[in-house]
Structure 1
Amino acid sequence: MNLKKLTFSLLTIGMSLSPLTLQASEHPNLILTESGVERMRENVGQVPLFDKSLASVKQQVDAEIAMGIDTPIPKDFSGGYTHQRHKQNFFIAQKAGVLYQILGDEKYAKYIRDMLFQYEAMYKDLPLHPQERSYARGKLFWQCLNDSNWLVYMSQAYDAIYNYLSKDERQALETNLFRPFADFISIENPQFFNRVHNHSTWGIAAVGMIGLVMNDEELIQRALYGIDDDGLEVGGKDNDGGTIKVEGQRKGFFANLEEPFSPDGYYTEGPYYQRYAMYPFLIFALAMENNRPDLKVLQHKDNVLLKGVDALLNLSDADGEFFPLNDGQKGMSYYSASLVTAVDLAYFYGNKDPQLLSIVEKQGQVLLQESGLAAAIGVRDGKAKPYLKGSVNLSDGINGKQGGIGVLRHGNEDLTLVFKYAAQGLSHGHYDKLSFSLYEKGEEVLQDYGLARFVNIEQKGGGNYLKENTTWAKTTIAHNTLSINQQKHFGGVYDVASQHHSELFTFDANKDNVKVVSATEENAYPGTFMHRTMAVIKEESFEKPYLLDIMRVTSDSENQYDLPFYYLGQVIDNNFDYQSPTSLHPLGEENGYQHLYVEGQGSAVEGNTKFSWLGAGKYYTLTMLTDAQDDIYLTRIGANDPEFNLRREAGIMLRREKTQDTVFVSVVEPHGSYSPVSESSKNSKSSIAKLELVLNSAKYTGVSIVDVKGKTQLFIIANSDNSDTAEHAVTIDGETYRWTGPYFYQ
């Protein structure tokens, strides 16, 4: 059946709903409301994007109904049949509930009822899941997190058919399934429920939402404020090595809204987990808005949830894929179902920003709820405007005072720098202070590795985190930042790292030709102070904008400094001599070094060391300020990885040994292009003739860049005074430069 015919069919069903179905009732009262359902019914057949979404969901649910209901005895990790089947069940049940409300077709209510009673029959005798890896094992799934997913969605399905069920049926489900389920993931698993973490957010939302459907005030209060006497000991650990319980830790939904979110809407675990957590955050907040508007949960912390949607969109590249900060799977984007929900709700419950409608258009689907209808109507009526992602500095921490993420964008994402100076990020954080990644349009130029996990791929560790996530992905050397004496930041100790954060020195994105972010770190290596300044610069003598990177280090001892750059592409050219070994050996024995093969080793060039590669049809050149005592390593990820859990990707590393105070200066320069169709190579060589450190003192560091046409650019950072009103003057080669503010560029 084509879309036009299906739309007509849906409209016909909507018009023929019985008067009894349309009568006021207490349900649905979570995500759907009586008035919202009425508006959706009235608009069926009149709003193309909404009709398309409705038709897609109907096709999916009808196919599942035709297959019959299967609720197998749980046995598998993520990706296995039983895991995927139960996961599919709760997704489909929730969608069937929406279809029942909009279309009034009893087959959807019957399908949900029959499924719920199959679960009711099995749950009372269901033991803990047989897989024992999790710190909080579930019953239907290997971890309570997924059990909570189930209850979040099933509570919506139950709410949708609440009035369809008899009183006895509701009592049986609530007594034998829903209340025991809620107690299990909360009271029986306080180490999962009573913490501040994305896991807990799902558990809290699950308990609170089923409490709202059942009108169970105890469950609602438990969700909002946590369990008072949980019996937990201080210092317990979760699967990822994160602390489960610390002295005086807050708990409940409000604590999970307060602590992980900064006032800017940045979520400390990073965008990958913010995307995952936004669904329960927003859905439960909406359910509270519909039932307890006096508590203003949706508006809590100055509308931080709605700000969080904007923060997430700004933490994506030109293709809508989220930057893989901390544990993050590459490729996750705002096309995910959770972001469809988030964007629609942000549009409806925010200020109806027309820019959000352009994201809705790209997503090509809407939530089957009043907010999705409103977004689809806005698209239909031509109200969409382009979503403009500019440079942004997002603070981290409950009060926005625990570092942050600086994103510098030039033009229409022609060059995008992602600079991380944030807090640890809970158990999903990495040891990568002052690290960065670089993008040209939607392509990675210098990458952040992301996580070591094959999500929901059963053959790879049951779809769970692999040991290489700890031994490689979280380590310092795995990132584009400074590693000292082959040690991780904070010694790789989570509890120590969680006490510290980097400090913003300056952020300025107001100028067209230069945008700057700068931050300091003094705790990652005791006795060593790091100050990194990064500038995205566009000059007429350069084809494209380029990145200037200045890392200034002062220490109370001599150290070995390693500064890696993880590029994606094919080596094209270099100006240094190196030797390639006949057999490959790891760069080190621990802290991530054991996973790096040495494919080449040589000495740096006195003055400037240059290295070029071709990636995604574009040329890039790394120019580093070096001396002849520096070493260059060409590396490849994959050593000590017999199961091939790591991607075999390349890097170049600058090593400086037996050095106390030093400055690393480099330029990453995009230029030219190559077409395999026309076999045409354009501008394949660097435009930089000389990179030079012209000033370095406790107060100032100055760098000059001379291009091949003889023009010089000068950049100076004031190392000790970041005041926007401070006046500075320095003399270089007999010429005096004066300026106001933290930096000078000419």
Structure 2
Amino acid sequence: MNTTTLPVLLSNEELADLHKEIGRPSLMGNTIAKLQAELEQYMALPMDVPGHGEAGGYEHNKHKQNYQYINLAGRLFLITKDERYAEYAGKLLAMYADKYLTFDFHIQRNTNPPGRLFHQILNEHMWLMYASLGYSCISAWLSQAQRSHIVERLFKPMLEMFTEKYGHDFDRIHNHGIWAVAAVGICGIAIGERRYLEISVFGHNGDGETGGFLAQISKLFAPSGYYMEGPYYHRFAIRPLAVFAEVLHRHMPELDIYNYKDQVIKQTTQALLATAYPNGLFPALNDASKTMAITDMGVVVAVSMYFKRYGFDKNLLGMAQIQNQVWMHPCGQALSEACDAEATIDPPFWPSVELNEGPDGTCGAQGFLRMQAKDKDICQLSMNYGQHGMDHGHFDTLGIAFYNRGQEVLREYGFARWVNVEPKFGGRYLDENKSYARQTINHNSVTVDEGCQNQFDIKRADSVHGKPHFFMGEGTELQAMSAFADEHYPGMGMQRTVMMLKSDMLESPLLIDLYRLTSEKPHQYDYSHQYQGQIIRTDFEYKTNTELHPLGDNYGYQHLWSLARGEAGSNALISWLQGNSYYTWLGTSSSADNEVIFTQTGANDPQFNLRYENSFILRTTGKDLLFASALETHGYFNEAVEASVNARGKLHQIKVLAHSETGSVVAIEGEGIRFTVMVSNQPNVTDTTEHRIIINDKTYSWKGFLAVEQETK
């Protein structure tokens, strides 16, 4: 047996530098202390290598914790030189070597093939990657007999299972595939079997095109670096990607991996980081947790790697401050030292960006606008006009989400799942994920005839995508993006234009939204907004329902209680309090017949699987129609000191003046102020396109994508 005795990711010189960080008040010093305390706490528990169990149950979680602490114990042994850690990792690995081949394949079944430890092979890949890293740190400390036992009874059977028994799955281009190749490649280095590294990099065919790490990073991401399943699954894929890239940088320098394919690793890491809200949380695009953030260990690794390999960026320092830790690795030490050298570190403020989708970047995009308010608060507006997102996709093309003042205001629901909460359907996706969370009505969009985009047909949804119209992300006073989605409802054209506008008359950038629908037949249109907080006031009368009934019987409507309804006429004002801030929404349509419906989740939910979430819907009917709305952020509320300032806001009315194939014109009015918003509806508009619309003998003209005129009184 040819086995290595060197750690896969650390040199002696680097270890000496990391050793000096012990006890220092740096990010690296604090990281070492934190992880050491966690390891000590885990080592105090009885060792256990259990058999099979439910996904999310004790056995599943114990195997997961074991591989994490094998890795951690190995690295901390090298950094602290405490042999107790090597002894612990070695003993735990030996226990797995004793038992692994006595386990049959897992009795549970998933869409993934089963492993001997977990119900799906994905988790076994994760186990091997971490355990191999830990093993490489202690292999020189172990005896030859101990090494042989672990390699022959544990690692080699795993490698054979991954590359031979499940060889058909090994080269699959998928986020699971990155874990597979990283696990096999790292284990191959750790045990001195380089052929496994070759398979992992170039695939079974050895061409780097049909499988392997090079194929994964070349084909899994769009040219922009965006991953079509969304940030939640992107941050899952980025962990093995970043770790294996650093391994290849050290063990296959001839690949020049960090410059491979026009620096695809830089591009995809940057794309992931650019989706995060200013507080570090990721927008819940597609199936996603509402609490997933850049504090996830995969993103911690990626931020440290990105800083070390692609250069200084103050936004990375801001992210490291939110993470409050770095990767316990030389890459993390470089980031830690840079943070130490800065007197002050500002929150991350990534530039606005349009992230194209599809293999060649022609399948729509995800748009992210960012603008700072007068007080430096960062507002972020996102819109989905890209691909569906495969089996984890939500049916919400042209859906938006809005964030400011440290909170998500127009909200994404995320997935219907209680991860690893075994009593909740084994921690897996609940039925309500399909019946509600993924439905169009659950998003800040327009639902047509109480149906779902693409009739909730995944195959059909994967075959269409949004079409970018224009993107203006560089302005400090005005930013905007616009897109079409003409294939998501039969015979229906949709165009949405959203913008953020900064004015000296307003406290915070104003969110303006124009949603245009075209059809040869009349339809019911539901313009929905998911919010959180307490309704403060409206400018229309509504009637609350004393008996609750579902709003509909399918496509998510069956889960919405109809709480109250009111006729809104030509203009609706709804104001609510969320946290310490007031929000006033002004909404209208080109129809004079508008109704507002207030809803809450919980209908047809006998097991209380859904979170209680609120929404309001502006409903109307028609053929060609324009919805227009403006969301003003204003005021301050502090219950503890009984303070309430500017609770009413300045804006009170919005009007649709015109909409046609040429463009849309909207007026927003308030105390001493009026905005006239003019937007192009022409598909091939450029920044030199001339527009001219005459309304009641008044001519509105502008050049380019849009124009906003402000009048003060």
Q: Report the TM-score range of the alignment, normalised by the length of the smaller protein.
A: over 0.9
Map of 2:462 onto structure 1:
498
Structure 2 counterpart SS, 1:298:
helix
Over 3 Å counting, the alpha-carbon distance change for 1:706 and 1:130 in structure 2 is: same
Please give the residue correspondences for 1:628-639 in structure 2 after superposition, counting only pairs within 5 Å: 628-639=592-603
The amino acid across from 1:131 in the alignment is Q
Q: Tell me how far 1:651 sits from its aligned partner.
A: 0.7
2:304, 2:437 → 1: CA distance?
34
Is residue 487 of structure 2 the alignment partner of residue 487 of structure 1? no
Map of 2:304 onto structure 1:
344
Is residue 35 of structure 2 the alignment partner of residue 57 of structure 1? yes
Q: In structure 2, which of residues 320, 326, 330 is the aligned counterpart of residue 370 of structure 1?
A: 330
Over 3 Å counting, the alpha-carbon distance change for 1:315 and 1:170 in structure 2 is: same
1:115, 1:414 → 2: CA distance?
47
Q: Tell me how far 1:191 sits from its aligned partner.
A: 6.4
Q: Tell me how far 1:584 sits from its aligned partner.
A: 1.4
Q: In structure 2, which of residues 341, 363, 369 is the aligned counterpart of residue 408 of structure 1?
A: 369
The amino acid across from 1:33 in the alignment is S
Residues 447-492 of structure 1, C-alpha deviations (whole Å, 9 max, x = no match): 0111111112222222221111111111111111121122211121
Please give the residue correspondences for 1:63-462 in structure 2 after superposition, counting only pairs within 5 Å: 63-78=41-56, 80-190=57-167, 192-227=169-204, 250-382=210-342, 385-386=345-346, 387-411=348-372, 412-462=376-426
Structure 2 portions without partners, runs of 5+ = none
Map of 1:48 onto structure 2:
26
Q: Tell me how far 1:578 sits from its aligned partner.
A: 2.9
Whether the 8 Å contact between 2:551 and 2:558 is mirrored in structure 1 is yes
Whether the 8 Å contact between 2:281 and 2:291 is mirrored in structure 1 is yes
2:343, 2:222 → 1: CA distance?
31
The amino acid across from 1:50 in the alignment is M
Residues 49-106 of structure 1, C-alpha deviations (whole Å, 9 max, x = no match): 322222222222233333342111121321x221121111111110111122223333
1:540, 1:368 → 2: CA distance?
46
Is residue 11 of structure 2 the alignment partner of residue 33 of structure 1? yes
Over 3 Å counting, the alpha-carbon distance change for 1:689 and 1:57 in structure 2 is: closer
Q: Tell me how far 1:212 sits from its aligned partner.
A: 2.1
The amino acid across from 1:175 in the alignment is E
1:264, 1:716 → 2: CA distance?
27
Structure 2 counterpart SS, 1:523:
coil
1:556, 1:148 → 2: CA distance?
53
Structure 1 counterpart SS, 2:368:
strand
Q: Tell me how far 1:190 sits from its aligned partner.
A: 5.0
Structure 1 counterpart SS, 2:294:
coil
Over 3 Å counting, the alpha-carbon distance change for 1:77 and 1:584 in structure 2 is: same
Structure 2 counterpart SS, 1:178:
helix
1:692, 1:357 → 2: CA distance?
44
Deviates more, 1:357-366 or 1:335-344: 357-366
Over 3 Å counting, the alpha-carbon distance change for 1:552 and 1:197 in structure 2 is: same
Structure 1 counterpart SS, 2:165:
coil
Q: In structure 1, which of residues 688, 713, 727 is the aligned counterpart of residue 651 of structure 2?
A: 688
Structure 1 counterpart SS, 2:641:
coil
2:411, 2:430 → 1: CA distance?
20
Over 3 Å counting, the alpha-carbon distance change for 1:585 and 1:183 in structure 2 is: farther
Please give the residue correspondences for 1:534-549 in structure 2 after superposition, counting only pairs within 5 Å: 534-549=498-513
Residues 553-594 of structure 1, C-alpha deviations (whole Å, 9 max, x = no match): 112332222211111111122233333222211112221111
Q: Tell me how far 1:342 sits from its aligned partner.
A: 1.2
Whether the 8 Å contact between 2:680 and 2:691 is mirrored in structure 1 is no
Whether the 8 Å contact between 2:662 and 2:691 is mirrored in structure 1 is no
Map of 1:574 onto structure 2:
538
The amino acid across from 1:359 in the alignment is M
Q: Identity of paired residues, percent?
A: 32
Over 3 Å counting, the alpha-carbon distance change for 1:586 and 1:278 in structure 2 is: same
Aligned length: 700
Is residue 609 of structure 2 the alignment partner of residue 645 of structure 1? yes
The amino acid across from 1:292 in the alignment is M
Map of 2:662 onto structure 1:
699
Q: In structure 2, which of residues 632, 639, 646 is the aligned counterpart of residue 669 of structure 1?
A: 632
Over 3 Å counting, the alpha-carbon distance change for 1:382 and 1:716 in structure 2 is: closer
Map of 1:14 onto structure 2:
none
Structure 2 counterpart SS, 1:67:
coil
The amino acid across from 1:401 in the alignment is T
Q: Tell me how far 1:599 sits from its aligned partner.
A: 0.9
Over 3 Å counting, the alpha-carbon distance change for 1:122 and 1:672 in structure 2 is: same
Please give the residue correspondences for 1:570-649 in structure 2 after superposition, counting only pairs within 5 Å: 570-605=534-569, 607-626=570-589, 627-649=591-613
Structure 1 portions without partners, runs of 5+ = 1-24, 230-248
Structure 2 counterpart SS, 1:368:
coil
Q: Tell me how far 1:32 sits from its aligned partner.
A: 2.0
Over 3 Å counting, the alpha-carbon distance change for 1:581 and 1:689 in structure 2 is: closer
Map of 2:522 onto structure 1:
558
Over 3 Å counting, the alpha-carbon distance change for 1:569 and 1:731 in structure 2 is: same
Q: Tell me how far 1:150 sits from its aligned partner.
A: 0.7
Aligned-residue RMSD, C-alpha: 2.3
Residues 466-524 of structure 1, C-alpha deviations (whole Å, 9 max, x = no match): 11111111111111112112221112111221122111111112333221110111111
Q: In structure 2, which of residues 687, 706, 713 is the aligned counterpart of residue 743 of structure 1?
A: 706
The amino acid across from 1:61 in the alignment is L
Whether the 8 Å contact between 2:528 and 2:618 is mirrored in structure 1 is yes
Whether the 8 Å contact between 1:185 and 1:193 is mirrored in structure 2 is yes
Map of 2:672 onto structure 1:
709
Q: Tell me how far 1:552 sits from its aligned partner.
A: 0.9
Q: Tell me how far 1:633 sits from its aligned partner.
A: 1.5
Whether the 8 Å contact between 1:690 and 1:707 is mirrored in structure 2 is yes
Residues 250-283 of structure 1, C-alpha deviations (whole Å, 9 max, x = no match): 4432232123322332222111111111110111
Over 3 Å counting, the alpha-carbon distance change for 1:652 and 1:170 in structure 2 is: same
TM, length-normalised to structure 2: 0.93
Over 3 Å counting, the alpha-carbon distance change for 1:446 and 1:43 in structure 2 is: closer
2:166, 2:451 → 1: CA distance?
36
Structure 2 counterpart SS, 1:677:
helix
Q: Tell me how far 1:733 sits from its aligned partner.
A: 4.4
Whether the 8 Å contact between 2:356 and 2:362 is mirrored in structure 1 is yes
The amino acid across from 2:349 in the alignment is L
Whether the 8 Å contact between 2:22 and 2:33 is mirrored in structure 1 is no
1:363, 1:408 → 2: CA distance?
23
2:283, 2:174 → 1: CA distance?
20
Whether the 8 Å contact between 1:357 and 1:385 is mirrored in structure 2 is yes
Whether the 8 Å contact between 2:496 and 2:515 is mirrored in structure 1 is yes
Q: Tell me how far 1:200 sits from its aligned partner.
A: 2.1
Over 3 Å counting, the alpha-carbon distance change for 1:137 and 1:160 in structure 2 is: same
Map of 2:487 onto structure 1:
523
Whether the 8 Å contact between 2:540 and 2:566 is mirrored in structure 1 is yes
Whether the 8 Å contact between 1:282 and 1:298 is mirrored in structure 2 is no
Whether the 8 Å contact between 2:103 and 2:116 is mirrored in structure 1 is yes
Deviates more, 1:498-507 or 1:715-724: 715-724
1:441, 1:711 → 2: CA distance?
25
Over 3 Å counting, the alpha-carbon distance change for 1:706 and 1:27 in structure 2 is: same
Over 3 Å counting, the alpha-carbon distance change for 1:118 and 1:477 in structure 2 is: same
Whether the 8 Å contact between 2:667 and 2:674 is mirrored in structure 1 is no
